[in-house]
Every structure is written in C-alpha cells, then in structure tokens.
Amino acid sequence: MKKLFLVVSILIFSLGLVACGSKEKEEAKSKTELFMGTVVNIKIFDGDEYVLDKAFNRVKEIEDLVSINKVGTELDKLNENAGIQSVKLSDDSFYIIKKGIEYSKLSNGGYDISIGPLVKLWSIGLPEAKVPSEDEIKEKLTKINYKDVEINEETKEIFLKKKGMILDLGSIAKGYTADEIVKILKEEGVKKAVVDLGGNVYVLGEKEKDKPWKIGVQNPFSDRGDVVGAIYVKDKSIVTTGIYERFLEKGDKKYHHILNPKTGYPYESEIAGVTIVSDKSIDGDALSTLVFTKGINEGMKFINNLEGVDAIFVDVNKNIYLTDGIEDKFELINKDFKEK
C-alpha cells in the first residue's frame, strides 16, 4: 500500500527556503537515488559527504530485506513459506513486522499488514490494475488476518499460518528506513538535514537558529507541489497519505489504494488526505494509513490520545481538521480550504 512517488512536494517549502540563502546552498550536500519504489533524497547541511553514502547503504540493506517487489528478500521468503514453515528473520525484518502487528492490533484489524493478497489482487497503481470480482475478493479475504501471524520473540522466527498469506510492509517499511537514516546522521554528528522517502519526510534540527522548518502540506485534490498550508516543525517526521496518491478509474468510479481488509474494497471515507507529525517515522507511516481507516472524528480522538503525535486531516469538502498539539504550528495558505 502506499506513498508511491508522493513527493518531494511535501518539501516545497523546506527545500525551497533552504535554497534562499546562498551560503547554505553552497554548504548543502545532497544525494538522490531510487529505492523501495520511490525517489529517496537526503540533504545534509553539515558533516562529510561519506555520510550520505553510508545512509544509502543502509537504505539498500533494508530494501533487500523487506521489499515485496524483489525476489529473494526475507519478506519474499516468509510469504513463500506461508502455511508451510516458520522463517528466521533478521533484526530489521522482525522489528518491522512486530511493529506492524502492534498497529494491526491497535486498530482491531482495520489496518492489517497481512493485506498483501488484496493489494496484489487489485494492483492499484500498476499496469495490471483491475476491479476484481466479488468471488475473487471473498477468496482473498480468507487469507487476511494479522492474528494468523505467529511471532517467536526468542528465536525471531515468524510463521504465517495459512497458505496464500502475504505480508505487505509498504505502509510501515519506509518509516523504519527514514528512522534508520536519521539514526546514522545523528551518529555521524549531522545536526541539520532533510530526509525524504517519497512522502515520508524527516527534518533534523532547525532551518536556522531558533527557526523551525516550514513544511508544505499537500493539496489532496491537485497536482503534487500544490499545498493547502504549512506546518512549522523541527526534529520531526511528517508522513502524508491520501486518495490522490494511487487510484484506479473504471467508468465514472475512482478506486483509491487504501483497501479495507474486512470488505476487500477501498475504504469509503470522508478523508481526502491525512498528515501525521511524530517523533518516529515508523509510527507516522503506520498511523497515516491507520487513521484513514477510522474517519475524521474517530481519527482525531485516536491521535489526541497518543503522546507526541499530531495530525492534519483534509476532508472531501475541503475542510481542515487539526489535532490539539498542531493548531499553533499550522498556517493556512490555500483559501479554498477552511479550518474547522
């Protein structure tokens, strides 16, 4: 599921403003590569260039473990052994899956990392995308249940109980990767950076002394780069998801990519887009999908009860809803939208 090629648009302000100062622009070191199905950009404003190479080596390590689109990864091996035997995993893969299960439990299955059979069936965003038959959907639903994922903490083995089960970590793996990049940057003494993994953004430090970064929030009804507003943050992860990212059009109906693991169809929600602001990107990644499944009222309550996490919701009627901790950090820019 997810933030495929979502953008550098969320960085329209952060990167744009950085470029305003010629001294900063000269000092900045940046590297961009294609990983995990998206464009990954790391920009540092102090530290040596080798740090970028070290960070990208870490990205490749994680991709080679948990990419669902590469043959021979640990995730591929785990899915291939569904209903057959348990598979021993690396610390990275085990941790990501364990966190995914935690969020699946937290949502009572509204968010479920075992949704892989449905994701492959619909293939939204790919050339083979189609609207499946009801019979096809019913058959796949029998293979989706996070409770059928057995985790052995001692041996770091995982067993998928049913044949045909498929874990899809697309809604959480990029967040973990962003956190690992930030960890490396901090270990190497970098104090100011912008990390972007196709919509999973982390801003390290401040833009300038006593000045936070200004990050644009994507307009869910428009092209990438068009924003509804901006937030002012430092040392935070910003993750956005919405109905505009990937969708399938059939006749006059549009099917977005956020699938309901209980019905087999895309979620019907008044939410057009949601942005999660958190300390850890792995949390923001999972929560951006999880709260989408709850709707605005329940989603707002849910986020307000979490420590250190905030959200910006945009509904289909162009209303903007802010959780308690972000109200004084948000600036409305597009007057076609209205704060509620």
Query: Domains of the chain, with CATH numbers?
Result: 8-62+172-339 (3.10.520.10), 68-160 (1.10.3980.10)
* Interval 116-136: pLDDT, tens: 999 999 988 788 889 999 999
Q: How many CB atoms lie within 10 A of CB 126?
A: 14
Instruction: Decide: 188 and 181 in contact? Cβ < 8 Å.
Output: no
| Mean pLDDT for the chain overall | 90
Contacts of residue 40, defined as CB under 8 A and 6 or more positions apart, other chains included, come to 32, 33, 34, 56, 59, 196, 197, 198
- Pick out the residues of the known binding site for Mg(2+): 171, 285, 289
- Of the pLDDT bands very low, low, confident and very high (cuts 50, 70, 90), residue 19 is very low
- Of the pLDDT bands very low, low, confident and very high (cuts 50, 70, 90), residue 278 is very high
Q: What is the pLDDT of residue 269?
A: 87
Instruction: Decide: 78 and 167 in contact? Cβ < 8 Å.
Output: yes
* Interval 199-244: pLDDT, tens: 789 999 999 999 999 999 989 888 667 899 999 999 999 999 887 6
User: What does the DSSP assignment read for 64-110?
Assistant: HHH-TTSTTSHHHHHHHTTTT--EE--HHHHHHHHHHHHHHHHTTTS
What is the C-alpha separation between 160 and 95, in angstroms, rounded?
16
- Pick out the residues of the known binding site: 171, 285, 289
